[in-house]
């Protein structure tokens, strides 16, 4: 491996997972005494907190938490938060995921979120991103419309280039960049949190208070202009940890809170032909199975197998091949968003692209599915619909110059490259008891992100193992 390639790999690690330079992680930094307004801490996440706190050795609640954003989300604080939650709530069946895309501000993340964010259907999303307000709100609105996830919106911390001034009235700030930052953190983000019933991690105000209390400048807590050093990471970690608190004024049954409801199986649900028939109102329904359940159930929603609904499939984030190529590794997709016109099947797709010698920024390509087979060719400067209709790529969704070249620190556009991705289902036509650790509820999702409206579920086969049915309805999520 050449010295230049090794250097690029090192730079990529710094960009992808920002780390500190010249500071020991063992340093004790001044403690943050202002961790937030107790009247606000924990707002918007009490279902998640109840799931965590009520877990015990005999009943281990599954809690799905997703951190999504760009390079700030890729920082060490995220891993420290995961460790804190695992240590504080050891009996919770914690599924803690981070899917950051460093460098991806809102105009890009709004596209990758269709593969990364909404299909995950988290219990809690911790979200931070820079960029324009319109695309930011689009992601929060769609998250609220498509899932029942609780959400923490994170404010921005102070950059090295920003001044510690009073930001309570952004209109009085002369510097245009800081005026925009103040408007975003003092008005836009808190207003968005209120509008969509989200929690708000007010770390900019708390960051400023900490700097002033300890007579520090913004540059003392960052490596470059924006990425936290070890001191900044320590403060960022303590501030987000403090938000994970149970509120005494909130008593919630996480399995029966209006937007999530659990319905024990009753004789009234059994039809004369031995099936379970259950009308429900929502966009996701799960089977909760007895510990002793065995066998397989056949599933129908509104008279059809769930996978007959073409919206029950989606394209996951594509991966740029880097092994045995001059392209360094990284999470960034070459195509920001994949669509489809005809129903998908579960399979792996491969796209091979070759640079046009007369137009270096343009690539010709061909696609192939592991089930579909060869499925046509196209050009990156033109709209593409594969022969089967299972792959659709808009010309504006290609991102080679940024995602492959700029973020991976290449000197030039690659002459060729390969990407692959999976088309996956978010529903099932049949259900069998899953293998889970002791104390964890045996749950099978029948379908998620179907239309949030009345439906009828019909189950046949080994129905005696079904204990309850759990329904999720995003439109019932409480908003002020």
**pLDDT tens figures, 431-467:** 999 999 999 999 999 999 999 999 999 999 999 999 9
Q: Name the β-bridge partners of 366.
A: 352, 377
CB-based contacts of 380: which residues, under 8 Å, 6+ apart? 353, 362, 363, 364, 365, 395, 398, 400
pTM: 0.93
Task: Judge whether 253 lies within some domain.
Answer: no
Contact in structure between 334 and 322 (CB atoms under 8 Å): no
Structure tokens at 96: 């803690």
Amino acid 479: pLDDT: 86
Query: Does a structural domain hold residue 254?
Result: no
> Are 290 and 414 contained in the same domain?
no
Do 352 and 384 lie in a common domain?
yes
Cα three-residue angle 308-303-435, rounded to 5 degrees: 65
Identify the domain boundary among 407, 425, 443: 425
- Interhelix angle for 230-243 vs 203-213, to 10°? 130
What the block records as the tokens of 208 is 């400023």
Q: Would you say residue 52 lies in a domain?
A: yes
Compute the distance between CA of residue 433 and CA of residue 441 in angstroms, rounded to an integer.
Answer: 10
The confidence band for 41, taking pLDDT boundaries of 50, 70 and 90, is: very high
Kindly state whether residue 346 falls inside one of the protein's structural domains. yes
Quick: pLDDT tens for 57-113.
999 999 999 999 999 999 999 999 999 999 999 999 999 999 999 999 999 999 999
> Is the confidence at residue 4, as pLDDT, over 80?
no
Q: Which domain holds residue 280?
A: 260-309+427-476
Confidence of residue 480 (pLDDT cuts 50, 70, 90): confident
Alpha-carbon distances of 401 from 160, 275, 322, 363, 404, rounded to whole Å: 28, 55, 16, 11, 6
Are 211 and 239 in a shared domain? yes
Given a contact cutoff of 8 angstroms between Cβ atoms, the answer to whether 150 and 45 are in contact is yes
In a shared domain, residues 111 and 182: yes
pLDDT at 10 over 90: no
Same domain, 416 and 445: no
Q: Give residue 26's pLDDT.
A: 55
pLDDT by residue (tens digit) across 105-164? 999 999 999 999 999 999 999 999 999 999 999 999 999 999 999 999 999 999 999 999
Does residue 250 lie in a domain region? no
- pLDDT at residue 204 greater than cutoff 90: yes
> Is 204 found in the same domain as 100?
yes
pLDDT at 2 over 70: no
- Assign residue 144 the CATH number of its domain: 3.40.50.1110
Q: Look at residues 243, 276, 294 and tell me which one is the last residue of a structural domain.
A: 243
Asked whether residue 379 carries a pLDDT value surpassing 60, the answer given is: yes
Give the domain CATH number at 459. Answer: 2.60.120
Pick from 13-27, 48-62, 87-101, 158-172: least confident: 13-27
> What's the pLDDT at 7?
39
CA dist 207 and 277 (Å) reads 54
**Are the CB atoms for 158 and 165 separated by under 8 Å?**
no
Whether 295 and 165 share a structural domain: no
Sheet holding 124-128, edge to edge: 93-98, 62-69, 124-128, 150-154, 199-201
Question: pLDDT grade, residue 13 (50/70/90)?
Answer: very low
Count the domains in the chain: 3
Helix residue spans in 305-451 (DSSP H): none
Which residues fall within 8 angstroms of residue 282, CB to CB, at 6 or more apart?
A: 452, 455, 471, 472, 473, 474, 476
Residue 25 confidence class, pLDDT cut points 50, 70, 90: very low
As given in the structure block, the two tokens for residue 10 are 């090192």
- Is the domain of 276 the same as that of 330? no
Helix or strand holding residue 424 (H, E): strand 416-425
224-252 residue pLDDT tens: 999 999 999 999 999 999 999 999 998 99
CA distance linking residue 223 with residue 417, whole number of Å: 33
Given 243, 271, 297, the domain boundary residue is 243
Residues 415, 431 within the same domain? no
Distance CA 139, CA 126 (A): 13
Q: Same domain for 337 and 470?
A: no
Q: Which of 332, 335, 421, 417 is nearest to 15 (CA)?
A: 332
Give the pLDDT mean for 378-400.
Answer: 98
Examine the domain organization and report whether 361 and 460 are in the same domain: no
**CA distance from start to end of the chain:** 57
Close Cβ partners of 373 (under 8 Å, ≥ 6 residues apart): none
Averaged confidence pLDDT in the chain: 94
155 and 298 both lie in a single domain: no
């Amino acid at each position: 491996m050449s010295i230049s390639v090794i250097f690029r790999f090192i730079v990529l690690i710094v960009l992808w997972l920002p780390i500190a330079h010249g500071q020991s992680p063992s340093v004790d930094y001044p403690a943050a005494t202002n961790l937030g307004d107790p009247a606000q801490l924990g707002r918007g996440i009490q279902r998640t907190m109840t799931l965590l706190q009520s877990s015990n050795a005999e009943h281990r609640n599954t809690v799905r938490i997703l951190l999504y954003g760009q390079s700030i989300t890729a920082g060490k604080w995220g891993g420290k938060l995961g460790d804190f939650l695992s240590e504080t709530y050891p009996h919770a069946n914690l599924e803690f995921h981070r899917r950051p895309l460093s460098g991806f501000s809102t105009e890009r993340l709004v596209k990758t979120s269709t593969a990364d964010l909404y299909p995950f259907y988290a219990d809690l999303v911790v979200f931070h991103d820079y960029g324009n307000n319109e695309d930011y709100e689009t992601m929060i609105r769609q998250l609220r419309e498509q899932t029942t996830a609780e959400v923490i919106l994170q404010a921005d911390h102070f950059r090295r280039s920003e001044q510690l001034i009073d930001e309570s009235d952004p209109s009085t700030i002369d510097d245009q960049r800081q005026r925009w930052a103040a408007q975003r953190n003092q008005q836009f983000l808190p207003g968005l949190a209120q509008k969509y019933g989200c929690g708000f991690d007010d770390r900019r105000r708390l960051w400023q208070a900490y700097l002033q209390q300890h007579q520090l400048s913004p540059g003392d807590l960052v490596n470059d202009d924006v990425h936290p050093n070890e001191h900044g990471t320590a403060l960022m970690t303590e501030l987000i940890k403090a938000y994970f608190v149970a509120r005494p004024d909130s008593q919630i049954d996480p399995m029966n809170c209006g937007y999530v409801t659990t319905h024990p199986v009753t004789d009234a649900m059994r039809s004369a032909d031995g099936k379970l028939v259950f009308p429900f109102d929502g966009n996701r329904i799960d089977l909760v199975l007895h510990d002793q359940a065995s066998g397989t159930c056949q599933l129908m929603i509104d008279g059809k197998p769930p996978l007959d609904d073409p919206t029950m499939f989606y394209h996951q984030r594509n991966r740029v091949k880097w092994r045995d190529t001059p392209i360094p590794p990284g999470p960034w997709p070459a195509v920001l968003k994949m669509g489809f016109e005809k129903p998908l099947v579960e399979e792996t797709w491969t796209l091979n692209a070759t640079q046009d010698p007369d137009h270096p920024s343009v690539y010709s390509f061909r696609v192939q599915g592991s089930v579909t087979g060869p499925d046509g060719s196209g050009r990156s400067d033109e709209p593409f619909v594969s022969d089967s209709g299972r792959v659709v790529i808009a010309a504006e969704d290609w991102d080679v110059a940024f995602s492959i070249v700029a973020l991976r620190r290449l000197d030039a556009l690659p002459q060729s490259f390969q990407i692959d991705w999976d088309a996956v289902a978010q529903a099932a036509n049949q259900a069998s008891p899953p293998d889970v650790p002791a104390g964890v509820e045996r749950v099978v999702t029948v379908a998620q992100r179907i239309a949030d409206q009345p439906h009828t579920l019909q189950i046949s086969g080994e129905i005696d193992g079904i204990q309850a049915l759990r329904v999720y309805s995003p439109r019932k999520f409480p908003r002020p």
